[in-house]
Amino acid sequence: MSTAVAALNLPFRTNVDLIDLGTKDPRLAGILSPDYDEKVVRNYIHQQFLDDAGEYMNKYTSHDHWRRILTTAQSHLRLPLHEQLNILDLGSGGGNTIFPLLDLYPYATVIASDLSVPLLRALKRKQLQDYPERQCLVMQLNAEELVFADGQFDLVVGAAILHHLFDPQKSLREAARVLKPGGCALFFEPFETGQQIVALAMVNLMGISDFHRSRGSHETLPDAAVEAFKRICIDFAVRKGSDKSGEIYRNIDDKWLFTRSYLQAAATRCGFREVELYPLYGVERLFSSQVATYLRLSAGLELSALPGWAQQYLQGLDQHFSPDARQDLLLEAGVVLRK
């Protein structure tokens, strides 16, 4: 262990020297970092996580939402809740998963990590305010290049992080490396099969709306919904497939819609012995719920803003597949990887 690391009295072994960013800016006290160059950081993450971090947190912070998701995940992880586990969270942002993890694992040592210092600053502030007694380290960290020595963690968590990366396999390999034998990695990610069915539904809804308009009917989609649907369909078209070599991927944040086969093959190559995928949300209203989420986030609309025929179309799509098929049609899934 280097002198710099030893001076910080860390409970984990690292491969590089770390500093407390508070030595550079008192407002950042308690945030550890390998002292990345700012230009390097901006090569990996986009403006919404840096200059627009406050707006991002206002839009996406939901501790209760992630608490439900992580509570459900426990039945798939089979980890003891009341033991002194070591947990590394990747892409922690402002703490969506960190505070639920601190609640679920009361005796765990948790590392919150992200490349965005503005988000980490907000996370650190809340941790000091609400969990001052907990062993929770806050660290600026590149998820593709973990700085920890091998075999130290029982659980690695990444909530909606892999689809932002140029090469998710790098992060999977690093997660496998720092896990103890028998440890688990847990990711939550979007999948191409289910999401492209959502995109097809949006295309059909827009086509039916155009037909109504051509007949002089006012039972058409709101303009804001149409614009949101168009953006989402274009986004999904770019994100499908596994070739991310195009220049466009350097300029967009969300790069991937995963397939089951890609993640299973990548996990095997990275040294995981077992892969389990499970639907992140209920399958009763699989597609209508997803469209409702996109409408709310992209257009500020509720599903009830759509005309009755559009709501009926989505309800019919939900029921078109059997419950077993809906279980297989992953839109967003929990990904459990066991070492």
Strands ordered across the beta sheet of 136-140: 19-20, 31-33, 136-140, 109-114, 86-90, 153-159, 179-190, 332-338, 274-279
Q: Which two tokens stand for residue 109?
A: 């040592």
Nearest CA to 52 out of 37, 42, 67, 43 is that of: 42
Residues in the chain: 339
Q: CA quadruple 81, 85, 90, 93: dihedral positive or negative?
A: positive
Q: CA quadruple 140, 143, 144, 147: dihedral positive or negative?
A: positive
Residues 122-143 have a mean pLDDT of 94
pLDDT tens across 298-326, in order?
Answer: 999 999 999 999 999 999 999 999 999 99
pLDDT confidence bin for 5, thresholds 50/70/90: very low
pTM above 0.85, yes or no: yes
**Per-residue pLDDT at 294:** 96
Q: Which two tokens stand for residue 63?
A: 């501790």
**Per-residue pLDDT at 78:** 85
The CATH architecture of the domain made up of 3-190 is: 3-Layer(aba) Sandwich (3.40)
Q: Are strands 153-159 and 109-114 parallel, antiparallel or unpaired?
A: unpaired
Q: What are the domain boundaries of the chain?
A: 3-190, 192-253+285-325
Residues 182-203 have a mean pLDDT of 97
**Per-residue pLDDT at 39:** 79
Residue 70 pLDDT > 70, yes or no? yes
